[in-house]
Structure 1
Amino acid sequence: MTWIITTEHPRTPDATTLRRDYYDEVASRYWERPATEREIDEGLTDDGTDLLVPPTGTFVVGRYEGKPSACAGMVLLDAELAELTRVFVRPEARGTGGGGRLLKAIEKTARAYGAKRIQLDTRNDLVEARGLYTKHGYREVEALNAKQYAEHWFVKDLTDSPDTKDLT
């Protein structure tokens, strides 16, 4: 089975649907109930998506067997530091290597922008995400910020040569 990862504007139809699905999943897990359409709309309002385009960042969409199935974004925080954000793989495509491919694409772009390190924050309940980051060389660190939903923080040094042997 094949994954194709492409850079897209975060407001294309496929990217928008994936961002909505991402927010639906993380909000529904947090609230322990399905998120409503209104809650999803409110959550995506002024969510920083405008930073996910050059020169401040990027957004990638992963297609599995031709279907939009995953996404991830990156925002430059300063000349040498990037933040990984909105990493999402649809449940039916999990375990197929898409998450690793998203990370590699984002890391490659971050390096091209001059970033020497990439960081992220995530929550306790996003166990799959924490496992993905650890598997791909991110190390957990002390708190990097005081964001409301941040419970775990990870960083990765981007100055080492990219590891291309394990894209799963």
Structure 2
Amino acid sequence: MDSSLVERVRRFNRTVTQRIGALDDAYLARGRPLGQCRVLWEVGDGGSEVRALRARLDLDSGYLSRLLAALRADGLVEVTAADDGRVRTVRLTPAGAAERDELDRRSDDLATDILTPLDEAQRGRLVAAMGEVERLLVASMVRVAETDPQAPEARACVAAYVAELAARFDTGFDPSRSIPADGALLLVATLHTEPVGCAALRVHDSWAAVKRMWVAPSVRGLGLGRRLLAELEATARARGVGTLRLETNRALTEAIALYRSAGYREVPAFNDEPYAHHWFTKEL
């Protein structure tokens, strides 16, 4: 990694944490640190399962327990457990809801304070830059790993893939009629433990087929499809594969554009996939 890039990220982090008051032990002058304030906001009006809260905030279970204990001691949240004790739910008390509303008001004031010194053009630039930074930070939080195809997150991705193809293809999609991906290596992308994408590689000696490429609508535009494809290519190279092949349907225009931009060359049909209109290959 380029050390100058690392230093620029660190400098940005220092500026942001100072400007938003994250260094204060009493965030927004409310007598508690930022971590506790964020948990109050994230719990929301309807409450939250503790494990879901931990996943959304990417927090260590011990640290989250300490945050919740401090909020309970202040009378701001209550934590209840199901009969089996495995599922715990946290909810705001009336005092917690009032505190969350006050934090919202003060957060609006802080945002206004950041924008006020800037002219109209600068405000637009700042907000646009913040949006771009947010998208890229979300992209950086996505994790990609080889996953057992029978794991719940893998099955969820494949089910979503099948459902989307059924909705988008002119003739619908019946996976029993399609060339199977049995025995394929499966990569699954997760964001806050939620599955948001997958891609499979079925190896045939010196060549391999790319299968099951899918990205959740909620994270499209973050470059995840390209990242999954690159990870499949790296995996194929590591296994001595020299050629990748894939087929796709004409309705998947975004996928077709991705394959072409990634160096895949359209070729005549090399299989009898009933749902395919385009066939591609790439030499690694």
User: After TM superposition, is the score higher than 0.5?
Assistant: yes
2:247 corresponds to 1:121: yes
Matched, 1:8 2:147: yes
1:141 paired with 2:267, answer yes
Which residue does 1:161 correspond to in 2? none
Normalized against structure 1, the TM-score is what? 0.78
Which of 55, 66, 72 is the aligned partner of 2:199? Answer: 72
Could you tell me which amino acid in structure 2 is paired with residue 51 of structure 1? Answer: G
- Number of aligned residue pairs: give it: 145
Cα separation, 2, equivalents of 1:10 and 1:47: 17
Larger Rg, first or second structure (1 or 2): 2
Q: Contact between 2:178 and 2:275, CA under 8 Å: does it hold in 1?
A: no
Q: Which residue of 2 aligns with 1:162?
A: none
Which residue in 2 is equivalent to 1:157? 283
Whole-angstrom distance in 2 between the partners of 1:22 and 1:48: 14
Q: What TM-score comes out, normalization by structure 2 length?
A: 0.48
Deviation at 1:32, TM superposition (A): 6.9
Q: Which region of structure 1 is more displaced relative to structure 2, 66-75 or 24-33?
A: 24-33
Equivalent position to 1:97, from 213, 223, 229: 223
Aligned-pair distance for 1:50?
3.4
Sequence identity of aligned pairs in percent? 34
Structure with the larger strand share: 1
Residue identity in the other structure for 2:160: D
In structure 1, which of residues 71, 77, 82 is the aligned counterpart of residue 208 of structure 2?
82
The code of the aligned residue for 1:130 comes to: I
Normalized per residue, the structure richer in helix is: 2
Higher relative contact order by CA 8 Å / sep ≥ 6: 1 or 2?
A: 1
The answer (yes or no) to whether the contact 2:153–2:194 under 8 Å persists in 1 is: no
Deviations 1:95-142 (A, max 9, x none): 101101101111111112211000100011011111111121111112
Segments of structure 1 that go 5 or more residues without pairing to the other structure are 53-57, 159-168
Counterpart for residue 48 of structure 1: 180
| 2:200–2:211 CA contact under 8 A, matched in 1 | yes
Given residue 155 of structure 2, which amino acid in structure 1 is its aligned partner? T
Per the TM alignment, residue 7 of structure 1 is displaced from its structure 2 partner at its CA by 0.4
Q: How far apart, CA to CA, are the structure 2 residues paired with 1:46 and 1:149? A: 7
Equivalent pair of 1:119/1:155 in contact (CA under 8 Å): yes
Cα 1:95–1:17 shift into 2, 3 Å: same
Q: Give the Cα separation in 2 of the matches to 1:88 and 1:30.
A: 15
Once the two structures are TM-superposed, the CA of residue 67 in structure 1 deviates from its matched residue by 2.5
**143-152 vs 116-125, which deviates more?**
143-152
